């Protein structure tokens, strides 16, 4: 039989010893880790057991880390040049939040998993500030102290779209379009508020009145609407050629409508009189009233016409149950022509420049016959033409004192009817 060589036995034993040594080393490492864990657990148990007996005054470390079940760091507390710092990570390793210090005070920052800032709360020279960024990294909103109080801004693509802030007198709000133009502006003060839409419409209100203004070309007001707490109201429409004004109120301010020319002169207006009747007036270009239509206290109508100087030249009016009258005046304001309607018929008066009637024509009193009289400058009738009771024409001529000189046809005396001299 063959006997194994010594070399073969030696190699086999050497392999066995190396395998045993490797296993011993692995056991030793496991034991060391177990002892370390046991030491930590033991320390924790000792701290917990001694909590009721003593307090730890100071626990010092340069960095404290918390890991999850997978061994990934999810929280770290450390220090840097500015002070203390706490960082948070997601299980995927995204640093999403940091609580730190800056040169002015505290600083809280939030990031997304792409490393972009999405929100921040931090101390500044003026106090504190809160900012929000969009997913592209552009600031979307900001809240911070202003010159006279808090301010809130909203932005898009880095440009301001709106702002709300405290001002010295109250608060102010601005909303911008995509080009940065302020399209809505509002502000407040003590018992006062204003709102503007672009540069064309503006509304204001205080404890006395409220007003709306619309502007047209060249920043000129074209519409004004105003109201007061005393129930006064105003609506004014402006144009290049003039304006229309509607106004109403209490007390002496009667409701009225007025038209003005381009020079600001009122050329026509309509109003209510103190007795409740209405009136309409037309004026020349310089504002001089030249025509009017109005109602009197009894409800009758009247029309007046004046010359360019405002002197009354003609008037026509109605009279209750008596008819109508028409009067024409001379430049000296004396009536030179008058017409009237009555229950008996019409009457015509012609006067001289001093207003003395010189021709009177109309219906004979209590009759249907016509009559006409001519007067001298003293107002004494010198010619009378009419008809007799029987309907025959009659003409009388008088002297300057009114004494009859001649009657045509001649009046003949009779025993029953002597001729009157």
For the purposes of burial, counting CB atoms within 10 Å of the CB of 250, is it exposed (0-12), middle (13-18) or buried (19 or more)?
Answer: exposed
Q: Average of pLDDT values for 361-377? A: 81
Is 55 domain-assigned? no
pLDDT of residue 365: 65
Average pLDDT of the segment spanning 70-80:
92
pLDDT in the model for residue 189? 93
User: Does residue 14 belong to any structural domain of this protein?
Assistant: no
Specify the pLDDT at position 321.
78
| Domain end residue (candidates: 311, 338, 361) | 311
326 & 421 share domain: yes
Element containing residue 354 per DSSP (H, E) = none
Give the model's confidence band at 17: pLDDT under 50 very low, under 70 low, under 90 confident, else very high. low
Q: What is the mean pLDDT of residues 259-288?
A: 90
Q: Are residues 216 and 307 in the same domain?
A: yes
One domain, residues 299 and 282: yes
In a domain, 5, yes or no: no
Are 288 and 263 contained in the same domain? yes
Considering the domain architecture, whether residues 269 and 282 belong to the same structural domain is answered as: yes
| Residues 353 and 400 placed together within one structural domain of the fold | yes
Question: Taking residues 142-159, what's their average pLDDT?
Answer: 90
How confident is the model over 254-264, as a mean pLDDT?
A: 89
Q: Is the residue at 53 inside a domain?
A: no
Cα atoms found within 13 Å of the Cα of residue 226, Cβ hemisphere only: 16
Work out how many domains the chain is built from and give that number: 4
Percent over 70 (pLDDT), the chain: 82
Residue that wins the pLDDT comparison between 105 and 322: 105
CATH number of 259's domain: 3.90.930.1
pLDDT band at 19 (very low <50, low <70, confident <90, very high): low
The predicted pLDDT at position 163 comes to 94
Q: Which of 74-88, 319-333, 402-416 is least confident?
A: 402-416
223 has pLDDT over 90: yes
The band of 249, judged by pLDDT with boundaries at 50, 70 and 90, is: confident
The pLDDT, as a whole number, for residue 68 is 92
Q: Which of 145, 166, 192 is the last residue of a domain?
A: 145
Report yes or no on 20 lying in a domain: no
Section 332-351 average pLDDT: 87
Mean pLDDT of 189-203: 94
Please give the average per-residue pLDDT across 338-346, as a whole number: 84
| One domain for residues 348 and 418 | yes
Asked if residue 105 and residue 200 are part of one domain, the reply reads: no
Say yes or no: 158 and 200 in one domain: yes
Q: Which of 145, 169, 198 is the last residue of a domain?
A: 145
105 inside domain: yes
Instruction: List the structure tokens of 98.
Output: 């940091």
pLDDT the model gives residue 4:
42
264 or 410, greater pLDDT: 264
Residue with more model confidence, 387 or 43? 387
Domain that includes residue 171, residue range: 151-207
Domain membership of residue 127 (yes or no) is yes
Answer yes or no: do 287 and 367 share one domain: no
Please write the tens of the pLDDT for every residue from 34-66. 555 445 555 555 555 555 544 668 888 889 999
216 and 132 assigned to the same domain = no
Q: What is the pLDDT of residue 5?
A: 43
Q: Does 104 reside within a domain?
A: yes
The stretch 266-295 carries a mean pLDDT of: 91
Q: Is the confidence at residue 416, as pLDDT, over 50?
A: no
Based on the fold, state whether residues 158 and 130 are members of the same structural domain: no
Amino acid 33: pLDDT: 55
């Amino acid at each position: 039989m063959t006997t194994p060589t010594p070399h073969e036995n030696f190699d086999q034993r050497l392999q066995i010893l190396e395998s045993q040594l490797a296993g011993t080393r692995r056991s030793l490492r496991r034991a060391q880790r177990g002892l370390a864990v046991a030491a930590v657990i033991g320390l924790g148990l000792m701290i917990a057991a001694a909590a009721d007996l003593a307090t730890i005054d100071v626990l010092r470390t340069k960095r404290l880390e918390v890991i999850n079940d997978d061994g990934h760091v999810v929280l770290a507390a450390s220090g840097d040049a500015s002070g203390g710092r706490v960082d948070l990570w997601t299980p995927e390793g995204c640093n999403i939040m940091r609580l730190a210090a800056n040169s002015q005070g505290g600083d809280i920052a939030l990031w997304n998993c792409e490393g972009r800032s999405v929100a921040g709360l931090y101390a500044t020279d003026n106090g504190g500030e809160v900012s929000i960024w969009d997913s592209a990294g552009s600031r979307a909103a900001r809240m911070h102290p202003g010159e006279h109080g808090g301010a809130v801004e909203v932005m898009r693509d880095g440009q301001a779209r709106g702002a709300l802030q405290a001002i010295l007198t109250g608060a102010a709000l601005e909303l911008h379009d995509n080009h940065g133009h302020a399209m809505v502006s509002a502000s407040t003060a003590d018992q006062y508020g204003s709102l503007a839409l672009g540069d064309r419409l503006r509304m204001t209100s205080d404890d006395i009145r409220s007003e709306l203004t619309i502007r047209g070309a060249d920043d000129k007001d074209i519409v004004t609407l105003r109201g007061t707490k005393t129930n006064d109201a105003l609506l004014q429409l402006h144009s290049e050629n003039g304006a229309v004004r509607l106004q109403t109120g209490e007390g002496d301010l009667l409701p009225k409508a007025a038209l003005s020319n381009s020079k600001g002169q009122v050329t026509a207006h309509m109003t209510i009189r103190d007795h409740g009747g209405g009136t309409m007036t037309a004026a020349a270009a310089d504002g001089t009233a030249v025509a009017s239509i109005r109602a009197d206290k009894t409800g009758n109508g009247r029309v007046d016409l004046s010359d360019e100087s405002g002197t009354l030249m003609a008037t026509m009016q109605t009279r209750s149950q008596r008819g109508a009258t028409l009067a024409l005046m001379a430049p000296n304001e004396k009536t030179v022509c008058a017409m009237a309607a009555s229950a008996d018929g019409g009457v015509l008066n012609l006067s001289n420049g001093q207003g003395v009637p010189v021709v009177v024509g109309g219906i004979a009193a209590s009759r249907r016959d016509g009559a006409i009289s001519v007067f001298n400058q003293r107002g004494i009738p010198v010619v009378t033409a009419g008809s007799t009771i029987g309907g025959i024409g009659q003409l009388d001529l008088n002297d300057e004192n009114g004494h009859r000189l001649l009657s045509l046809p001649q009046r003949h005396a009779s025993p029953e009817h002597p001729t009157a001299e």
